[in-house]
Amino acid sequence: MTTAKQTFSEVTPPHLEDLPYREYDPEIARQLLKFIKPYTNKIILSTLFMAISSFAAVSGPYLLNVAIDEGLAKNSVATLRNTVILFLLLQVAQWFFNYVRTNIMARVGQSVIFDFRARLFEHLQELSLSFFSRYSSGRITSRVINDVNVLREFVTWTLLAAARDFFTLIGIVFTMVIINWKLSLLSFIVLPVMAVLTFEFRKRARTNYLRTRMGISWVNSVLAENINGVRVVQSFSREDTNYDYFQNTVNRYNLDANIAAARLSSVFFPSIDLLGKVAMALAIWAGGTAVLGEPLSAGDLVAFVLYIDRFFEPIRDLSMRFDNLMATMASGERILTLLNTPVEVQDRPGAAIMPPIRGEVTFDHVSFHYSDDDQEVLKDINLRVKPGETIALVGKTGAGKTTIIKLISRFYDPTSGRVLIDGIDLTQVTQESLRSQMGIVLQDPFLFSGTVRENIRFGRLEATDEEVEEAAKAVGADDFIRQMRLGYETPVEEGGIILSVGQRQLISFARALLANPRILILDEATSSVDTQTEQIIQKALSRLLEGRTSFVIAHRLSTVTNADRILVIHDGQIVEEGKHHELLEKGGMYHQLYSLRFEEEQ
């Protein structure tokens, strides 16, 4: 942990992969343009409107020139009136086209974001579990929310703002040359100095950009970590220590990074303004004294000064747009990396619909290792489970128990061998038709934002209210649900934070029962509940397991001993198999595990 005594330059935030500063990459740009392509016509129309509004904006000083030289100097009221009317009409046109263009691009930007997020959400739901074991939900959410918003800002504002600056700059230069090309060249003397300043600013701004992004990301990361772990923080009386770290290291780094960025901007932008004033002074001096050898009218001089005042604004803005482009490249790369992540488990072309499952499960010489690790988790597993049979899987942590049930659910495909249900290879059927006939209850059940009733109905949306309540009664959840503030209509919030672990587990049992799966998987579903709640669950298990092929991973003895068959998994292999009393009589590994668990549960 960084100490409070370290200076800003000495502090290095933890690596945050969402922060690289990406140079322009044509391949990234090409892939991003695919999402923008459907809106090409609207973007072209907006660009046309932008060109018209830029022309209207640039015409102002020129019309002022005409009003002075042709109206006031020649005492022509008609010319003055017509010039003023034309000026007003152009301003109205500028307002109208800007209004329409802004609305069009706002719709385009939001539509692009809509498409991006829909595609990301669809892809995330298709990705295999191995992906989510490598990436935290915070990193994924950051990409879906923050990075997509960077793209929205680019499409909605930066893209056409850069076009506006370009059109404005071209219009100003063209008009200045038309008025007096010699005076234009004199005014452009400051451009090399401006180019050097802009180059240095961009180089230093890149570093400051990274530091400010790191700073706010670090602040958000530490805030989220402390909020999520507030119970642990308070349990160990870490409030003062965590506050000191946050205030004097994390928050201080963010403050110093932003002050450094502000200090750089306070030098660059006033310098650009100063160069503009120098160019303006040169134009006034040269034009006023006619040192260029030809007369310059008052209107020309006034228009020239106004154009010079505007000339440097689009140059300054374009230098800032470059940073926006780089941020878009970085965000685009992260989003495309996510979208291009391959789906490891996919339905084959022409995959069949799984017929109604009877419940026979077969492992035919199944071996498995994860894609990022060559070490085998399962080694030549052969197993046949009869329909309606309850199988308990026991073994030490890391033995391969959970991997077996993930293969049955086809969250992974075997590295070699086959997994069959009712004699059908799981790789030959669609995942949806398979999993719709299966039910899984996890050790830490997840409840979604919504009511208790909606969470129970999650696995079978067409279930009636009566069926929902019958399922809850069957697993012993009805009593505590009716005691809640709004009964079955009580909102449980995300994760079910208002409920105890045991209550969440009972609701998950009701959800599984209501779905009426042909194959049921219980992954340590009773290990986190108290003894009293477990007794309620045990009464419901007989109802839940009845007539279904079931696989149970459990630490509690009562759940294991009632199984039709127990498989002892060790080092990726089935080393013992049989009923509870049979395995105890053998005095092997199961006997050791049983004895150890028996002592723990006393």
pLDDT tens digit sequence for 122-150: 888 888 777 776 766 666 776 777 778 88
Q: Is the pLDDT of residue 587 over 70?
A: yes
Rounded to an integer, what distance in angstroms lies between the CA atom of residue 144 and that of residue 149? 8
| More confidently predicted of 378 and 146 | 378
Residue 418: pLDDT band with limits 50, 70, 90: very high
Q: Is the pLDDT of residue 568 over 80?
A: yes
Mean pLDDT of 69-76: 82
State residue 482's pLDDT score.
93
Q: Is the pLDDT of residue 361 over 90?
A: yes
Residue 602: pLDDT band with limits 50, 70, 90: very low
Residue 113: pLDDT band with limits 50, 70, 90: confident
Phi and psi for 568 in degrees, rounded to 5? -95, 115
- List CB contacts of 105: < 8 A, sequence separation 6 or more: 42, 43, 46, 155, 156, 157, 159, 160
As to burial, measured by CB atoms within 10 angstroms (0-12 exposed, 13-18 middle, 19+ buried), residue 55 is middle
What's this model's pTM, rounded to 2 decimal places?
A: 0.68
- Angle between the N-to-C axes of helices 465-474 and 531-545, in degrees from 0 to 180, rounded to the nearest 10: 120
Mean pLDDT of 408-434: 92
| More confidently predicted of 309 and 456 | 456
Nearest to 367 by CA among 574, 580, 602, 111: 574
State residue 137's pLDDT score.
66
As to burial, measured by CB atoms within 10 angstroms (0-12 exposed, 13-18 middle, 19+ buried), residue 519 is buried
Q: Is the pLDDT of residue 326 over 90?
A: no
Percent of the chain clearing pLDDT 90 (strictly above): 16
Rounded to an integer, what distance in angstroms lies between the CA atom of residue 346 and that of residue 432? 11
Q: What does the pLDDT look like over 13-63, one tens digit per residue?
A: 654 545 555 566 788 888 888 888 899 899 899 889 988 888 888 888 888
State residue 3's pLDDT score.
46
